[in-house]
C-alpha cells in the first residue's frame, strides 16, 4: 500500500513521516502526500506497525466479575472510553473463562502492552510474580488486600470509611437495630465494609449482635433474598439493613417485599457501589457511590504512562466515595 502511496513521487520514509505527523517535511510534499493518501483511502496496517514498533497499542483488562454484571459493564464502559481517546484498544479477559496464563501469553505475544487487574487477578500470586518477572506494566484496581500489594500501582477506594459513612447515616436517621447483609465472597473489600459497619455501631454505643449480620448463601440475587428473610425473622426490632453491595440490595429488597413489609416505611435499605440501575430500583436506592469512571480513568492513564516510560513512578491512589441519598431510607418511626 505504501508503495502505491509512493507513487506520489516520494520515498517510503517520507510518507511514513506524514502519516505519523513527524516534522521535517516540506509543506508542499506533505500536502501532496496527504492528498494521495486520501484518494487511495490508505490506512496504515496496524499489524505491521505493531511489529516494527514493538508495541501493540492495546491494553488488557482482567475482569473479576462477569461482564454482564452492571458493575463490570460500567468499568468496561469507562475503560473503553479512555482507551479510545488515547488510541489504544482494549482486550477483555473475563476471569470466568480465561486463565492467568492467557494474560501472560497475550503480553508475551505482544497482543497487549500492559494490563489492568481487577480484584481476583490481583490475588493470583503466580500471575503477579510472572508479570513482575517480565517487567510487564500493570495496575491493579481494588486489590484484595493492601497488605499484599508491594510497591505496585493500584487504584482503590476506602471501603472501611465508606461503609461507616453509610451506617452512620442510618444511625442519624434514628435506627438502632440495623442489619448487615454480606456477600458470600471472601474478599477483603467486603470485610472492610463489615468492619465499617461494626465501627459505626460501636462509635454510637450500639451493641453489635450476631443475628444482625447475615452472609449470603449464594452468588445471585437469591442470596440477598434469603439474607433479608433471616434478618427479619430473627430480629423483631429490625428497622434498617446495610447491604455490602447494590446487587445484594436488590435481593434484599425483594426479600423484604416478600414478607409484606414496605421500603422505606417499615425497613430502610442502603446499598454500596451505586451501580447504574440503583436509581431505578423500587424505591430508588440510597447508596454509596464509587467513582467508577474516575477509577478507570486513573488506572488507564497511569498504565499508558508506564508503558511509554517504564521509569514512571508507581501510584497508590485512594479515590473518594460519596453518599447518594435517594428514597430507600427514612427516619426511624419508633
Partner DNA sequence: CTGAAAGCGCTTACAG
Contact flag: residue 64 with a copy of itself (CB under 8 A): no
Contact flag: residue 24 with DNA (CB under 7 A): yes
Q: What angle do CA 125, 78, 86 make, to 5 degrees?
A: 90
Residue of 7, 20, 87, 150 that binds DNA (CB under 7 A):
20
- Minimum distance, C-beta of residue 97 to a copy of itself, in the bound complex (Å): 6
**34 touches 18 (CB < 8 A):** yes
Contact flag: residue 250 with a copy of itself (CB under 8 A): yes
Residue of 34, 44, 206, 257 that binds DNA (CB under 7 A):
44
Start-to-end C-alpha separation, the chain: 78
User: Which sign, positive or negative, has the C-alpha torsion 208, 180, 218, 265?
Assistant: positive
- Minimum distance, C-beta of residue 42 to DNA, in the bound complex (Å): 7
- Minimum distance, C-beta of residue 312 to DNA, in the bound complex (Å): 19
- Minimum distance, C-beta of residue 54 to a copy of itself, in the bound complex (Å): 9
Residue of 6, 30, 32, 110 that binds a copy of itself (CB under 8 A):
110
Strands of the chain, DSSP E? 58-63, 89-94, 114-117, 138-141, 154-157, 178-182, 213-215, 240-243, 268-273, 286-289, 316-319, 322-324
Q: How many residues bind a copy of itself (CB under 8 A)?
A: 51
Using the contact rule CB under 8 A, the part of the chain among 19-27, 69-77, 151-159, 310-318 near a copy of itself is 69-77
Nearer to DNA, 248 or 307 (CB): 307
**In this structure, what is the dihedral angle of CA atoms 3, 4, 10, 13, given to the nearest 10 degrees?**
-40
**131 touches 115 (CB < 8 A):** yes
Q: How many CB atoms lie within 10 A of CB 29?
A: 16
Residue of 19, 76, 319, 323 that binds DNA (CB under 7 A):
19
Q: How far is CA 229 from CA 181, 207, 294, 327, in A?
A: 11, 22, 36, 21
The residues with which 140 forms a beta bridge, in sequence order, are 117, 154
Phi-psi region of 273 (alpha: psi -120 to 50; beta: other; left: phi over 0): left
- Minimum distance, C-beta of residue 167 to a copy of itself, in the bound complex (Å): 23
Contact residues: DNA, CB under 7 A: 1-2, 10-14, 16-17, 19-20, 23-27, 29-30, 42-45, 48-49, 51-54
Contact residues: a copy of itself, CB under 8 A: 41, 43-48, 50-51, 56, 66-70, 72-74, 76-77, 80-81, 84, 89-92, 94, 97-98, 105-106, 108-111, 221, 247, 250-251, 253-254, 257, 276-277, 279-284
Amino acid at each position: 500500500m505504501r508503495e502505491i502511496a509512493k507513487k506520489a513521487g516520494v520515498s517510503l520514509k517520507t510518507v511514513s513521516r506524514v502519516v505519523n505527523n513527524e516534522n521535517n517535511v516540506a509543506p508542499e510534499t506533505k500536502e501532496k502526500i496527504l492528498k494521495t493518501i486520501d484518494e487511495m483511502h490508505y490506512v496504515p496496517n496496524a499489524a505491521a506497525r505493531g511489529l516494527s514498533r514493538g508495541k501493540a497499542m492495546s491494553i488488557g483488562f482482567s475482569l473479576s466479575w462477569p461482564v454482564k454484571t452492571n458493575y463490570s459493564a460500567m468499568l468496561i464502559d469507562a475503560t473503553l472510553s479512555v482507551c479510545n481517546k488515547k488510541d489504544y484498544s482494549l482486550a477483555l479477559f473475563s476471569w470466568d473463562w480465561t486463565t492467568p496464563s492467557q494474560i501472560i501469553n497475550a503480553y508475551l505475544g505482544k497482543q497487549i502492552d500492559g494490563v489492568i487487574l481487577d480484584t481476583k487477578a490481583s490475588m493470583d500470586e503466580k500471575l503477579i510474580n510472572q508479570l513482575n518477572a517480565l517487567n510487564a506494566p500493570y495496575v491493579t484496581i481494588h486489590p484484595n488486600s493492601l497488605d499484599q500489594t508491594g510497591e505496585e500501582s493500584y487504584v482503590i477506594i476506602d471501603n472501611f470509611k465508606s461503609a461507616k459513612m453509610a451506617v452512620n447515616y442510618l444511625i442519624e436517621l434514628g435506627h438502632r437495630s440495623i442489619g448487615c447483609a454480606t456477600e458470600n465472597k471472601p474478599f477483603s473489600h467486603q470485610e472492610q465494609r463489615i468492619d465499617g459497619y461494626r465501627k459505626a455501631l460501636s462509635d454510637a454505643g450500639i451493641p453489635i449482635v450476631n443475628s444482625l449480620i447475615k452472609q449470603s448463601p449464594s452468588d445471585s440475587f437469591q442470596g440477598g433474598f434469603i439474607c433479608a428473610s433471616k434478618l427479619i425473622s430473627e430480629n423483631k426490632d429490625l428497622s434498617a439493613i446495610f447491604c455490602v453491595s447494590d446487587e445484594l440490595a436488590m435481593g434484599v429488597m425483594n426479600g423484604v417485599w416478600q414478607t409484606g413489609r414496605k421500603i422505606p416505611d417499615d425497613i430502610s435499605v442502603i446499598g454500596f457501589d451505586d451501580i447504574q440501575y440503583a436509581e431505578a430500583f423500587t424505591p430508588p436506592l440510597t447508596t454509596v457511590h464509587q467513582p467508577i469512571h474516575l477509577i478507570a480513568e486513573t488506572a488507564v492513564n497511569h498504565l499508558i504512562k508506564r508503558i511509554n516510560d517504564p521509569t514512571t513512578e508507581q501510584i497508590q491512589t485512594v479515590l473518594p466515595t460519596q453518599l447518594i441519598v435517594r428514597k430507600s431510607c427514612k427516619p426511624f418511626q419508633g
